[in-house]
Amino acid sequence: MAIRWFVPLLMGLAVLASEQHVLTNEGTQTGVLRRFSVTGSSHEDILRVASEHDLDVWQVARSHVDIYSLGGRLPVTLQGVSHTTTPILAPPRRQQGFVNSTWDLGTLESTTYHDAYHPLFEIDDFLRRLSELHPNTTHLTNLGHSGQGREMLALTISTTELQGETQRMTTKKKKKGKKNRNRNRKLGFVIVGAQHAREWIATATSLYLAHALLSDPTLPNSLSHLLDVFDFHIIPVPNPDGYDYTWEYDRYWYKNRQVISPKAKCIGLDMNRNWGYKWQPDVPGSAGNFTKPKEPTDPCSHWYPGSRPFEAPEVNNIANFVATLPDLVGFIDLRSYGQMLSSPYSYSCKRIPKAAEDLTEAALGAVQALSFVHGTTFQTGTLCRMLYRAPGNILDWMYTRAGIKFSYVAHLRDTGTYGFSLPENEIRPVGEETGSMVKYLATFIAMSNHRKL
């Protein structure tokens, strides 16, 4: 890397790191998104500087790195490094009051629920009301409590009565007929919303998908026919504390809100680096490598992975829930932004999964199906190569530990125009195109398991 541009880069990014995340009295948040064009080793160098100075990296792609900071009064001057700036205005916080009784959740197309983002209590109410409307096909599970004591809910959607452990064949007599019975048992598909609190569109999309799965099959955008083969398990808000914090205080908060230790200056850890497969303290070294630090990673870092795997109660709750689910074959971690559908691995850019051929074939077809809806284009590839190396990722754990062959991360709209502040009028289009992607993946997975949709 050339010294002539690295020094001003370091100085300029250090200025960004000094800016704090606060809300104005009006509840809005004005900042600047800086897109740095990258080539070759400069890509890794910028990420290393970002980690060392705890910069708020919004998105990483093969051609650029997006870094957000509050206020545009101190523009970054990078000698030899081109960049663009985009003002970002977070929407004002909506006044929280009584639950809106005019949502009319009876039909997917006519409801107004998917025309807006919703605070946590409205999401919980949506799940309960949806369950009440469809008592024979839904089941709400309390996964446990978050670090601050909030309930974590999972919605199971199935046309068969789930009996938990009684579904498992534990006796020798049942095992004798296991092969034939498995052909008639439903396949399991897990969908997780925003682990990173600020990725509102991920949670909104998970709610849309849940509604689409329960929609009348004769209506547009219904996914209910997938229930002929699959049971879906949807966790819309895996990070309830962080999500609630984005509504009350900091729209772009990233981590959970866990108290790490009594003496820690900051709270919260990055849930998506706290999973128990290839977990390690995440400190970048030279050439984009990661080495174990001599001292614990700074808890104030955006990317703080915790002091041990599964330290986050939210991560532990989800893992325990997934461990109870039978016949899991599909998993999607919904995120934003970047318009990518990525497969394992995240912890390594060199290792290729055994199922790489099937994963790639399904992903290519899925993004094509998605593009047919509104013309949105997605890229595909392994998560490490699409973004950067990140040990302790949910994707790797679901693929290796939970044994879910078709495991993906879907980074939804957009590619940087709005970033994490995607307008509310895009919620429904994103839900529609993501539904098309899920339908294709489910069909592909069903065929690979000798099932027909």
pLDDT tens for each residue of 5-45:
444 444 444 444 433 443 333 445 567 888 888 776 567 77
The pLDDT, as a whole number, for residue 77 is 40
Q: How far apart are CA 283 and CA 147, in angstroms?
A: 25
Q: Supply the pLDDT for residue 301.
A: 85
Question: Domain 3-90 is in which class?
Answer: alpha beta
Confidence of residue 52 (pLDDT cuts 50, 70, 90): low
**Residue 310 pLDDT:** 97
219 token code pair: 């209506």
- Residue 196 clears pLDDT 60, i.e. is over it: yes
Q: What is the pTM of this model?
A: 0.87
Q: Higher pLDDT residue, 3 or 387?
A: 387
pLDDT of residue 28: 53
Decide if pLDDT at 80 tops 60: no
Residue 2: pLDDT band by 50, 70, 90 thresholds? very low
Pick from 52-66, 79-93, 184-198, 310-324: least confident: 79-93
Give yes or no for residue 264 having a pLDDT over 70.
Answer: yes
Between 72-81, 88-97, 240-249, 437-446, the lowest mean confidence (pLDDT) is in 72-81
Residues 427-442 have a mean pLDDT of 98
Q: 113-246+310-448: what CATH class?
A: alpha beta
Contacts of 89 (CB under 8 A, 6+ apart): 28, 29, 30, 421
pLDDT at 61: 79
Tell me the average pLDDT across 321-349: 96
Residues 98-111 have a mean pLDDT of 78
Residue-level pLDDT at 97 = 45
Domain with CATH 3.40.630.10 in the chain: 113-246+310-448
Average pLDDT (173-178) is: 41
Mean pLDDT computed over 123-145: 96
Residue ranges of the chain that CATH labels 3.30.70: 3-90
> For the chain, what percent of residues have pLDDT higher than 90?
62
What CA–CA distance (Å, rounded) separates 154 from 139?
Answer: 8
Q: Which residues contact 245 (CB under 8 A, 6 or more apart)?
A: 197, 253, 257
Task: Please write down the HEC assignment for all residues of the chain.
Answer: CCHHHHHHHHHHHHHHHCCCCCCCCCCCEEEEEEEEECCCCHHHHHHHHHHHCCCEEEEECCCEEEEEEECCCCCCCCCCCCEEEEEEEECCCCCCCCCCCCCCCCCCCCCCHHHCCCCHHHHHHHHHHHHHHCCCCEEEEEEEECCCCCEEEEEEECCCCCCHHHHCCCCHHHHHCHHHHHCCCCEEEEEECCCCCCCHHHHHHHHHHHHHHCCCCCCCCCCHHHHHCEEEEEECCCCHHHHHHHHHCCCCCCCCCCCCCCCCCCCCCCHHHCCCCCCCCCCECHHHCECCCCCCCCCCCCCCCCCCCCCCHHHHHHHHHHHCCCCEEEEEEEEECCCEEEECCCCCCCCCCCCHHHHHHHHHHHHHHHHHHHCCCCEEEEHHHHCCCCCCCHHHHHHHCCCCCEEEEEEECCCCCCCCCCCHHHHHHHHHHHHHHHHHHHHHHHHHCCCCC
Asked if pLDDT for residue 175 goes beyond 90, the answer is: no
129, 105 contact by CB (below 8 A): yes
Q: How confident is the model at residue 303 (pLDDT cuts 50, 70, 90)?
A: confident
Q: What is the mean pLDDT of residues 123-142?
A: 96
Q: With 90 as the cut, is the pLDDT of residue 85 above it?
A: no
State residue 276's pLDDT score: 94
Residues 6+ apart with CB under 8 A from 318: 143, 152, 192, 235, 238
Give the range with max mean pLDDT: 61-65, 157-161, 246-250: 246-250
> 200 falls in which pLDDT band (50, 70, 90)?
very high
pLDDT given at position 297: 72
Q: 308 pLDDT band (50/70/90 cuts)? A: very high
Interval 276-290 mean pLDDT: 61
Comparing 3-7, 21-25, 111-115, 425-429, the range with the smallest average pLDDT is 21-25
From 223, 198, 186, 230, select the one nearest 208 (Cα to Cα). 223
Kindly tell me if the per-residue pLDDT of 79 is higher than 60: no
**Highest mean predicted confidence (pLDDT) among 133-137, 176-180, 281-285:** 133-137
Q: Determine the pLDDT at residue 20.
A: 40
Give residue for tokens 């400069």: 42
